[in-house]
Amino acid sequence: MTHDEKPTVAVLGPGGIGGLLAGLLSRAGHRVICLAGDGTAAALRASGIRVRSGLFGDFTAAVETDTELRVPVDVCLVAVKQTALEAALDRVPPAALGDALLVPFLNGVEHPATLRARYREDVVAPAVIRVESTRVAPGEIVHGSPFAEIDLTGDGVAKERLEALADALGSAGPTTRVLPDETAALWAKMSFLAPLALLTTRYALPLGDVRTRHREELTALVEETAAVSRASGAPADPAQALARYDAFPATTRSSMQRDAEAGRPLELDAIGDALLRAAARHGVPVPVATRLVRELRNAGH
């Protein structure tokens, strides 16, 4: 891939995130191949991806589809949820991926190791995305947030490859930057997300009620998460995290909470249990996180 060419992009899991990126990249002139199950692949082949976005406009973009990666690509974006990751990766045989970059957009901190166990270490380039985007039907994407920001990382990935991909993504729409420290990038997102997701889902309350009615727990959980982040080698600023929660609209809900309300599987292992595992590895006490994860499990999640 060079700066002059438009990379060919596969998108594994064309949902809220994958569908938005596939639509934007196709609109920008990239060849885009969405990898999905038969039903979703057929729907996308027939009608393309329809994006509704205040930031990027409303548009329909044609994409190719397949149930498995069979053609050479420059990049494969991975945008399934953690609960579907193992099964979905069967659609991307390592030989078909070759030396294409594999760029997961999942929340959490453990999936890069899962990918590196299956694929070449020097092609796994984790991304963090800040956006709110929802797949309302196969190929129908509603991008609700007035922002879409991507941090690209990848310990062991050539910097010029990350820069070229950041150029391509940035030209298609989302503000994209390359960050030098993968652990710091992943934990920055985790430190913000874990307290928000665990508390809003446990109490089935929007952020506004969590930060007033469960303030002590929120503060304790933010401090626990920051301690685990620091022990994992990433900086953390609990006071800043609290200030960010306070600045968000009171009606803010987490995607874990929306999944719980809709009866979908939660990314509890990737966000809650992963936090507990990291804490155990580093000997950091996390009593509030431990109780919240246990209560969510006891509630059937």
Ligand X SMILES: NC(=O)c1ccc[n+]([C@@H]2O[C@H](COP(=O)([O-])OP(=O)(O)OC[C@H]3O[C@@H](n4cnc5c(N)ncnc54)[C@H](OP(=O)(O)O)[C@@H]3O)[C@@H](O)[C@H]2O)c1
Q: Does 238 bind ligand X (CB under 6 A)?
A: no
Q: Which is nearer to ligand X, 258 or 294 (CB)?
A: 258
Select from 27, 30, 50, 81 the one that contacts ligand X (CB under 6 A): 81
Q: How far is the CB of 51 from ligand X (least distance, A)?
A: 13
3-state helix/strand/coil string of 114-157: HHHHHCCHHHECCEEEECCEEEEECCEEEECCCCCEEEECCCCC
The two three-digit tokens of residue 255, written as one number = 């995607």
Q: How far is the CB of 45 from ligand X (least distance, A)?
A: 13
Q: Which is nearer to ligand X, 6 or 189 (CB)?
A: 189
Stretch that binds ligand X, among 104-112, 211-219, 236-244, 273-281 (CB under 6 A): 104-112
Select from 51, 76, 124, 129 the one that contacts ligand X (CB under 6 A): 129
3-state SS class at 183: helix
Phi, psi values for residue 128, rounded to 5°: -115, 135
The two three-digit tokens of residue 240, written as one number = 């800043």
Question: CA 267, CA 256: separation in Å to the nearest integer?
Answer: 7
Residues 163-202, one symbol each (x = binds ligand X by CB under 6 A, - = not), give ----------------------------------------
Q: Which residue from 112, 134, 139, 135 is spatially nearest to 123, judged by alpha carbons? A: 112
Select from 8, 9, 11, 15 the one that contacts ligand X (CB under 6 A): 15
Question: Are the C-beta atoms of 13 and 82 separated by less than 8 Å?
Answer: no
Partners of residue 177 on adjacent β-strands: 151
Select from 84, 205, 220, 242 the one that contacts ligand X (CB under 6 A): 84
CB atoms closer than 10 angstroms to residue 62: 13
Q: Which is nearer to ligand X, 30 or 111 (CB)?
A: 111
Select from 48, 138, 195, 272 the one that contacts ligand X (CB under 6 A): 138
Q: Which is nearer to ligand X, 244 or 282 (CB)?
A: 244
Question: CA 125, CA 84: separation in Å to the nearest integer?
Answer: 19
Select from 267, 272, 274, 289 the one that contacts ligand X (CB under 6 A): 267
Question: Are the C-beta atoms of 58 and 46 separated by less than 8 Å?
Answer: no
Longest dimension (CA), the chain: 54
Phi, psi values for residue 99, rounded to 5°: -105, 20
Stretch that binds ligand X, among 10-18, 48-56, 165-173, 218-226 (CB under 6 A): 10-18
Q: Does 131 bind ligand X (CB under 6 A)?
A: yes
Q: Which is nearer to ligand X, 47 or 231 (CB)?
A: 47
Binders of ligand X among residues 28 to 47 (CB under 6 A) are: 35-37, 40
Q: Which residue's Cβ has the minimum distance to ligand X?
A: 15
Q: Which residue from 99, 118, 95, 85 is spatially nearest to 15, judged by alpha carbons? A: 85
**What is the H or E stretch that residue 211 is in?**
helix 207-213
Stretch that binds ligand X, among 2-10, 84-92, 113-121, 220-228 (CB under 6 A): 84-92
The CB-side HSE value for 89 (13 A sphere, CA atoms) comes to: 18
Q: Does 23 bind ligand X (CB under 6 A)?
A: no
Task: List contacts with ligand X (CB under 6 A).
Answer: 12-18, 35-37, 40, 79-82, 84, 87-88, 91, 105-107, 129, 131-133, 135, 138, 255, 267
